[in-house]
Structure 1
Amino acid sequence: MSQFQPRPSLPDAATRPQGIPLVTVDGVSLFLPGDPRQEMVLHHIDWRVERGRHCALLGPNGSGKSTLLRLLRGELWPASGHIYWHTEEGAEESPLAGRSMTALVSPAQQENYQRQAWDITGRDLLLTGLEDTPLPYSCSGMPRGDEQAAAVEALAARLKALGLLARSLPTLSQGQLRLLLLGRALLRAPALLLLDECADGLDAAHKKVFFDVLEEYADRCTVILTAHRADALPPWCTERRHIHAGRLLDAPPPARALPAAQMGSAPPAKAGRPVYSATGRILLALENVSVYIDRHKVLHDVTWSLHEGEHWQITGANGSGKSTLLRLLAGDEFVAAGGIISRWLPGQGGHVEMLADVRKGVRLVSDLSQALYGFALNGLELVCSGFDNSIGVYREFTEAERDEALRVMAGLFPEGDAARVAETSIRRLSSGQLRRLFLARALVGRPDVLLLDEPCSGLDAESRARYLTLLDCLAAPAETGGLSAHLVFVSHHGEDAPLCINREARMENGRLTVLR
C-alpha cells in the first residue's frame, strides 16, 4: 500500500479531536468505468475530509455528487491525481482502506437489492452492515454471534423497525427498505458515513426517527450527505460544499433563471385546487380487491374508482400499501379471488382485459420499475421502449417514434441536455436524470393514465418545479394543448402534488379511505 503521510497511531474514536484527516483528495479527475469516450465527470477535486466536520454536499442533478461519494468510498479510481485514506497505520491509497473505514447508502445500492430480489430477511440485511458484504455470512451457514444479534435488535428497536426484521426483502416498501439500509450503515459505525439522498422515500415519522438516531451516531462517525431538500439537512451538519459540472466549490455558482417547461402549453392559472365533479366515465374500478405478496396480505378489500377528469393523490405511511396499489393498477400485481378490477381506456379502444393493452394505456413511474430496468441502453432506447412498455428493446423503432421520443425528452431536459442524454448509457446517468427519462418513457404513446410513485425523488429543486409544471400540462384538456392524461400521484411531500390534483385518499395498513 502506498504511504502518503506516515503518522503515529490515532487515539480511540471517542477522544479524537477535530482536525484529524480521514480522507485527502488531491487533484483528482475521473471518468466512469465502461465509458468508451473516457469523458471526465469529476475535475481536479481537492478536498481534505476531517474527523467530526459533518458536511452537506450540494448541487444539481448530474453535477457529480454521487460520483464523488463513490470515490470517497473506494468504488471508483482516479484517472489523475490521488486519494488517500488515513488509517491507524498511516495514509493509504488502496481502495480496500476506503472500504474498511466507510459506509455508503445510495439510490444505486437500493436499486441493486431490489433488482437482485434476494430472499433474505430484514435481520439478514442489517447483519451485512457488520460484515460489509452484500449477503450475510449466515446465508452460507456461518454462525451468528449473540453480540451481533443483540446489536441488530437494539438498532432496529431504536429505528422503530422491529417488525421488519422477519420480513423478506421483496415484501418491503421503498421506504422500509431505505430505512433498513440506513440502519445497516449505522450498525457498522464507520469512521466516515456517506449518505446519498438518505431521506428519500421516508415518511415524516420515520424521517424524524432516523435523523434522531443519526445525531446520536454523529459523535462517533463523520457524516457527508447529499440532499436536494432543506428538511434533509440536519442542523448539526453545518459545513457546506457545492459541486457543479464535476467541480468542487466552496460557494454555490451564480443562480440562473428557472426555464419554462418547453412541452405543451402552460396549464391554466388556478387560485387553488380544482373542485371535483364526478361526471366522467369510470376508467379504473376496484371492487373488494385484496392483494397478497409472498403470502402476506398487503391490500385489504379495496373499493375505489377513477373517473374521467379526476387526478388522485394517495397518501400514507411507509409500508401502508400505496406502491402495491399502483402496481396493481398497472397490471404488475394481481387480484386475489373474490375481488374485481376493470379498466376502460379510451386510447386502447375502450374496455381492456389483455395485459399488453393495459400496459400501453396505464403507465407506472416508480423507484422499483427504475431499479428493475437493468439493461445497458442509452437514453433514447430507454424512452423508445415505452412505446411497447417493455423491459428492454426487442425491435427497431420507426423514425416517427424516435422523433416523438426526442421531442418528449426535450421537454424534460429544456436546459439543452436532451441530445447528450439520448446518446449516453443509462448506467452513467444520475438518479435525477434517470427519473426524468422514465417519465419520458411513460409519456410516449400518449397513455390514458399515469401512475406516479414518489416521482420527484432524487430531483433537484429546479427539476422538481419543471417536472410538476409538466404534469399539470399533461393533465390539461387536449383542446388547451394537454394530453388529457389522468394522474394517480403518491408522495410523502405535500408540496410535490401538481395543481391538477382534485381527489385524495389515504392508505392505512392496506385499507384505502377516500378523503375528498
Structure 2
Amino acid sequence: MTCQTADPTLLVTVDHVSLSLPGDSRQEMVLHDIDWRVRRGCHCVLTGGNGAGKSTLLRLLRGELRPARGSIYWHTAEGAETSPLAGRAMSALVSPALQEKHQREAWDITGRDLLLTAFDDTSLLYSSPPDECSRAAEAIAARLKAEHLLACSISAFSQGQLCLLLCARALLREPPLLLLDECADGLDAAHRARLFGLLEEYTDRCTVVMTTHRQGLIPTWCSGRRHLRQGRILAVDTPQGTLLQERPPRSKKARVQSAESETVLFCLEKVSVFVDRRKVLHDIDWSMHEGEHWHLTGANGSGKSTLLRLLAGDEFVALGGRACRCLARRGGFVQTLEDVRRGVRLVSGLSSALYGYALTGLELVCSGFDNSVGLYRRCANAELREAREAMERLDVAPLAEHSIRRLSSGQLRRLFLARALVGGPDILLLDEPCSGLDEASRFRYLDTLDNLAAQGLSLVFVSHYDEDAPLCINRQARMEGGRLIVTP
C-alpha cells in the first residue's frame, strides 16, 4: 500500500506500534505503543538496559518484524509504503545477530565477496558485479585499513574484522537509513576511530540510528536520544549527562599481585597454529601459573581469540610445538579433549553464534555440565540447583524458562557465563565478555569474576577496553601479528 507523503523530511513513521517476536506461542509483547517519527538527518542513539527492546526496534525499522498493533510507514520517492520490502530497500542493519549469522553459516566467501553483496543486499554473491562496484569496495576497505582482508575467507576473520567489513558493506549501499546495533563494541581503538570518521562523512547521505551501552562510543554528530525500558520509549532528547543508566557502585578491591606458585596451569612451547592453511600464531612460548589472572590485549586479527581457542582445545598445535594443561580437579596434566573441555571453559561471541539450539535459559546453563552444544540428558536435582545458583549470581534467573533465541545479546552473554561456571571448571577464558552488556550488568559481571578469582578460579581475559578488566588481573600480555609479548 502506498500513499503520498506530506513531509519530505520523514523517513519512517512508527504509529503506536506494539509487537511480539515470531515463534512466541504466548505472543508476549516486547514493544509497547511505540510512536516515533524518524527524519532525514536526525541521527539518534537508542539507549536502555539489556532486554529493553533496542535491537527489536531496529529490526522493526528495517522491516524484519511486523506490528501486532499499530502501523509503520516507510517514506520513499513514491510515497508512504507499508510493505516491509520498502523498509529493506531503504535501510541497512549491522547487528550482533547479522555477525552471528555469518559465523554460523560459515560461507566460503572472501572479504571482497562480502562487500560486493551490498549492492544487491544478499547474503551471497550471485553474479559478477560491475567494475565500479569492485572499485568502490576496494576504496572503502582502504579507508578502513582493511585491504588485506579482501582476499581472505571470512571464516578466518576475527570477530572485530568481520564486524568491520559488515559495517563497510552497509556503507557501500549508502542507504537513507543506517541502523547500527552495538557495531563498535568488538573493534580496537584504531579501527573504531577510522569507522566513526568514515561514518561522519556519510551523515549527509545516511540517517543513523544506533545503539550503545558505552558513553564514549557516541559520536558528537549523533545528538538525538531515545531511551527504552521494557519495550517502551520513556524519554525523548535525554540530556547527555543522563543518557545512560546510573552506574552501580563497584566493590573496591586492590589489584592482587601475582602469587608465587610453582603450579603450572598452561605451558606452551614453540606453539604455532594454522587456520585455513594460514599461520595465525607464531612460535609462542608462554606459561600460566596458579594464582595468575591474565589480561590479553591486541589489535583486531592479532591472534587473541585463536590463542584462547587453542587453550580451550578448539585449535591444535602445529608440528614441532607443544601445549600442556595441568588441571587440579582433573588429576593433574590432562591429555584427552574431554578432560580439557570440562576443566577449561571458553566464553566468546563465536561460541554463542555457533550455539544454534532453541533451548531455554536453564537448559543452556545445564549444558555446561558436559560442555556440550545442546542438552542430551536429564540433569540431576543437584545439577539443577547448581545451575539455578549460577543464574542467580548473574541476575538471569528470571530467564530460566525463556527461549534463548528470543533474548538480547547482553542477556545471552550472562547466560553463557553461568553455563561456563557449572561443573567446577579450573580455568575460565573470556573473549570480549562485556560486549553488549549494559553498565549495571557489566559491573555485576566483573564483580562476579573477581569473586570467582578470590575462590581460586584462574582467568584469561581479552578486551579492547581497559575499564572492562576485572580488578583481580595481575598479569598482562599483548598479541602482535600472532606473537605473544608479555608485559613485565
Structure-1-length-normalised TM-score = 0.91
Q: Percent of aligned pairs with the same residue?
A: 66
Summarize deviations over 1:423-478 as a string: whole Å, max 9, x none: 000000000000000000000011000000001000011111110001000000xx
Give the Cα–Cα distance (whole angstroms) in 1 for the partners of residues 374 and 144 of structure 2.
38
Corresponding residue to 2:187 among 193, 197, 202: 202
1:305 counterpart = 2:287:
yes
Corresponding residue of 2:253: 270
* Contact 1:386 1:443 (C-alpha < 8 Å) held by counterparts: yes
Determine the C-alpha separation between the residues in 2 that align with 1:202 and 1:254.
22
* Correspondence for 1:418 among 397, 409, 425: 397
| CA displacement at 1:497 relative to structure 2 | 0.5
Instruction: Kindly indicate whether residue 37 of structure 2 is the aligned counterpart of residue 55 of structure 1.
Output: no
Alignment-derived partner of residue 452 in structure 2: 474
Question: Aligned AA for 2:195?
Answer: F
The residue that corresponds to 1:512 in the other structure is 484
1:260–1:423 Cα change, 3 Å: farther
Q: CA deviation at 1:418?
A: 1.3
CA distance in 1, matches of 2:433, 2:245: 24
Matched, 1:219 2:201: no
Is 2:419 aligned against 1:441? yes
Tell me, yes or no, if the aligned pair for 2:478 and 2:485 is still in contact at 8 Å: yes
- Conserved 8 A contact 1:260-1:466: no
CA contact (8 A) 2:116 2:129 kept: no
1:170 corresponds in structure 2 to: 155
Give the paired residue count. 484
Aligned to 2:144: 159
Counterpart in the other structure of 1:40:
29
Give the 3-state SS of the residue equivalent to 2:151 in structure 1. coil
Measured in 2, the distance between the counterparts of 1:255 and 1:190 equals 28
State the 1:19 CA deviation: 6.6
Any conservation in 1 of the 2:52–2:230 contact (CA below 8 Å)? yes
The answer as to 2:331 corresponding to 1:352 is: no
Equivalent pair of 1:448/1:486 in contact (CA under 8 Å): yes
Alpha-carbon contact 2:215-2:244 (below 8 Å) kept: no
- Residue 462 (structure 2) aligned to one of 490, 497, 504: 490
Deviation sequence 1:95-137 (CA, Å, 0-9, x none): 0000000000000000000001111000000011111011112
- The Cα offsets for residues 364-397 of structure 1, whole Å up to 9 and x where unpaired, read as 0001001000011010000000000001111111
Alignment of 1:98-137 (within 5 A): 98-137=87-126
Q: What displacement does 1:230 show? A: 1.2
Deviations 1:289-314 (A, max 9, x none): 00000000000000111100000011
State the SS of the aligned residue for 1:423. coil
Q: Secondary structure at the match of 2:167?
A: helix
Give the equivalent residue in structure 1 for 2:371.
Answer: 389
Please give the alpha-carbon distance, in whole angstroms, between the structure 2 residues aligned to 1:360 and 1:164: 35
Q: In structure 2, how many angstroms separate the alpha carbons of the residues matched to 1:243 and 1:254?
A: 11
**Which one-letter code corresponds to 1:388 in the other structure?**
D
- CA–CA separation in structure 2 for the residues paired with 1:143 and 1:113: 21
Amino acid at match of 2:351: S
Contact preservation (8 Å) 1:452, 1:490: yes
**Structure 1 pair 90/287, CA: closer, same or farther in 2 (3 Å)?**
same
The question of 1:6 aligning with 2:4 is answered yes
CA contact (8 A) 1:280 1:309 kept: no
Q: One-letter code of the match for 1:422?
A: A
1:479: which partner in 2?
none
User: Which amino acid in the other structure matches residue 36 of structure 1?
Assistant: S
Q: Secondary structure at the match of 1:302?
A: strand
Q: Is the 8 A contact 2:41 2:206 kept in 1?
A: yes
Alpha-carbon distance in 1 for matches of 2:153, 2:141: 15
> 1:242-391 to 2 correspondence within 5 Å?
242-251=227-236, 269-271=252-254, 273-391=255-373
Cα distance change on mapping 1:232 and 1:162 into 2, 3 Å: same
Displacement of 1:159 in angstroms is: 1.1
| SS in structure 1 at match of 2:446 | helix
Which secondary structure state, in structure 2, belongs to the residue aligned with residue 338 of structure 1?
Answer: coil
* Conserved? CA contact 2:103–2:155, under 8 Å: yes
From 204, 221, 224, the counterpart of 1:239: 224
Picking from 115, 139, 150, the partner of 2:135 is 150
Which one of 135, 148, 165 corresponds to residue 180 of structure 1?
165
Cα distance in 2, alignment partners of residues 341 and 153 from structure 1: 40
Q: Is the 8 A contact 1:125 1:135 kept in 2?
A: yes
Is 2:407 the counterpart of 1:452?
no
Q: Please say which of residues 244-253 and 186-195 is displaced more in the overlay.
A: 244-253
Secondary structure class of the residue paired with 2:56: helix
Aligned counterparts of 2:385 and 2:235: Cα–Cα separation in 1 = 41
1: distance between equivalents of 2:243 and 2:85?
A: 38
Counterpart Cα distance in 2 of 1:115 and 1:485: 30
The 1-side partners of 2:8 and 2:461 are apart by 46
Per the alignment, residue 442 of structure 2 pairs with: 464
- C-alpha separation in 2, matches of 1:116 and 1:274: 42
Contact 1:289/1:335 (<8 A) preserved: yes
**Distance between the aligned counterparts of 1:73 and 1:145, measured in 2?**
27
Per-residue deviation, 1:204:
0.1
1:485 and 1:216 map into 2 onto residues whose CA distance is 47
Q: 1:26 deviation in Å?
A: 0.3
Deviations 1:293-347 (A, max 9, x none): 0000000000111100000011100000000000000000000000000111011
Deviation at 1:258, TM superposition (A): 6.7
Unaligned runs of 5+ in 2: none
